[in-house]
Amino acid sequence: MFESLFDIDFAASEAQLRDVVERCEELKSKAAAAQARATALWAQKRAAAEQAAGMSARGRGKGLTSEIALARRDAPACGNTHLGMANALVHEMPCTLAALEKGQLSEYRALTIVRESACLSVEDRRKLDAELNEEAHGFDGWGNRRVAAEARRITARLDAAAVVERNNKAVKDRCVTTRPAPNNMVYVTFLMPLAQGIGMYAALKREADMCGDGRSRGQVMTDVAYERVTGRDVAQPVSVSLNLVMADTTLAGDDTEPAWLDGYGPIPAGFACKLTGDAATDAEAKATLRRLYRHPKSGQLVAMESRARIFPKGLAAFIGLRDRTCRTPYCDAPIRHHDHATPDREGGETSALNGLGACEACNYAKEAPGWRVSTSKHEGEHTAEYTTPTGATYRSIAPPLPGVPVRQKVSLAEGRISIDLVTFQAA
Ligand SMILES: [Zn+2]
């Protein structure tokens, strides 16, 4: 039935094309509603099956959120949100689900309503659901902020104490995170109580207002924040340990293949060479080199010169460099565990082949009944296969190392290409 809609006619008029855009948007909302119904029913069936199998209440439902996320091609960490939203819409918010089904709300706006009302009792949530949907008259012309504000307003009126309690709980989630920004920059984000955050921002702004050395307000605020937190001048070199992986040919200036900075991602060759050059010439910095070997065909890490004599430590470093992030498909979380694909207790070896980089949540999820993870290696390509309790399989292949791939007909032993790992350590 969708073929006629998805086949875009080249001769279509602008009005017809607008119509296609509108109908596709409606379909996305409808699909989100169907996905929520299927997810909630899946959880019910799983719970019933586990209960019938005599599983304790505490053990039930483990791993299901990861399965839901994988089915949606999303990071396992998001599975909880998907399941929570599905359960809330199906069991507690019929009017919001109906609005989603009719295309009046997008999935994002429906999720916003679910989030804003999460602190309410089921009874109050049903009240909010009915009230908001009646007031909105089909949400015509309502933007993301208005949907959030109205849901928040009704929530606060229905149960002010619950909102206060939620706010108090939120304080516990305060944290500092980083994510890459373009042009070798990075965003450092503080999630903190409102008063403290505004206070910190105001203090930095005041500092900038008093400074008249030609730097912009943003520049002074950033410099002051750095100096206060690290206790160092911005002009002083940074003294942290960096793991930088780059091709020896790039280090020698023969090519400009991007390097890989652990915990950040790819960086241009020029910048990588500047980092290594700075470390080599700075008397206080300590630059160390370690040779890594790349498979000629897959480009993956095959061996590493090991300084550490203790086998597991070197192996953990090897797996970390090979996998870079958690190996579960769609999960980009940092590696917290060096996990056995086939568990130790089932005779799984402590080896690079059986080892996998995993984040905490994924390592826990795959311990749930019905999950199986196996690893294989073919032509230097390390593959992990995840089988879920419903029989779905997902594959993840380790990423190649930096450097130009070599596709010559050479045996592995002869075709090893050396890559240098440069580590800067604190002086
Ligand atoms: Zn993970």
Q: Is-contact 327 382, C-beta < 8 A?
A: no
Is 7 inside any structural domain?
A: yes
Q: Are residues 194 and 318 in the same domain?
A: no
**C-alpha 397 to ligand 1 mean position (Å):** 14
**C-alpha 256 to ligand 1 mean position (Å):** 32
**C-alpha 204 to ligand 1 mean position (Å):** 36
Q: Are residues 19 and 160 in the same domain?
A: yes
Give the chain's domain count.
4
Q: 123, 145, 170 — which closes off a domain?
A: 170
Query: Quick one: tokens of 337?
Result: 């565990």
**Cβ neighbourhood burial of 72 (10 Å; 0-12, 13-18, 19+):** middle
Q: Which among 336, 359, 354, 353 is positioned nearest to 344, based on CA atoms? A: 354
Is 95 inside any structural domain?
A: yes
Range of 26's domain?
3-170
pLDDT at 315: 77
Is 194 inside any structural domain?
A: yes
**C-alpha 342 to ligand 1 mean position (Å):** 17
The pLDDT profile of the chain, 427 residues, written as one tens digit per residue, is: 455 778 888 899 999 999 999 999 999 999 999 999 999 999 999 999 999 999 888 878 888 999 999 999 999 989 999 999 999 999 999 999 999 999 999 999 999 999 999 999 999 999 999 999 999 999 999 999 999 999 999 999 999 898 888 888 889 989 998 888 888 788 999 999 888 998 999 999 998 888 888 899 999 999 999 999 888 888 776 556 667 787 777 776 777 788 888 777 788 888 877 777 766 666 665 666 666 667 767 777 766 654 432 336 667 888 888 898 899 999 888 888 888 888 877 888 778 888 899 998 898 888 888 899 999 988 778 999 999 999 999 999 998 877 655 433 323 333 333 333 433 333 2
Q: Is-contact 188 264, C-beta < 8 A?
A: no
Distance set, CA 179 to CA 160, 169, 182 (Å): 35, 25, 10
> Which residues are registered as beta bridge partners of 246?
420
pLDDT at 240: 60
Is 403 inside any structural domain?
A: no
**C-alpha 309 to ligand 1 mean position (Å):** 29
Q: Are residues 129 and 199 in the same domain?
A: no
**C-alpha 362 to ligand 1 mean position (Å):** 4
Q: Which among 82, 161, 90, 155 is positioned nearest to 116, based on CA atoms? A: 155
pLDDT at 3: 59
Q: Are residues 280 and 320 in the same domain?
A: no
Q: Are residues 182 and 204 in the same domain?
A: yes
**C-alpha 158 to ligand 1 mean position (Å):** 38
**C-alpha 360 to ligand 1 mean position (Å):** 7
pLDDT at 282: 63
**C-alpha 412 to ligand 1 mean position (Å):** 31
Question: Which residues surround the ion ligand 1 when the cut-off is CB under 5 Å?
Answer: 326, 328, 331, 333, 359, 362
**C-alpha 49 to ligand 1 mean position (Å):** 26
Is 277 inside any structural domain?
A: yes
pLDDT at 31: 97
Q: Are residues 161 and 37 in the same domain?
A: yes
**C-alpha 333 to ligand 1 mean position (Å):** 5
Can you spell out the DSSP letters for 223-271?
HHHHHHHHSS-TTSPP---EEEEEEHHHHTTS----EEETTTEEE-HHH
Q: Are residues 11 and 131 in the same domain?
A: yes
**C-alpha 44 to ligand 1 mean position (Å):** 25
Q: Are residues 13 and 93 in the same domain?
A: yes
User: Locate tokens 């130009």: which residue?
Assistant: 404
Q: Are residues 47 and 149 in the same domain?
A: yes
Q: Are residues 12 and 130 in the same domain?
A: yes
**C-alpha 422 to ligand 1 mean position (Å):** 27
Is 330 inside any structural domain?
A: yes
pLDDT at 415: 34
User: Locate tokens 């450097």: which residue?
Assistant: 403
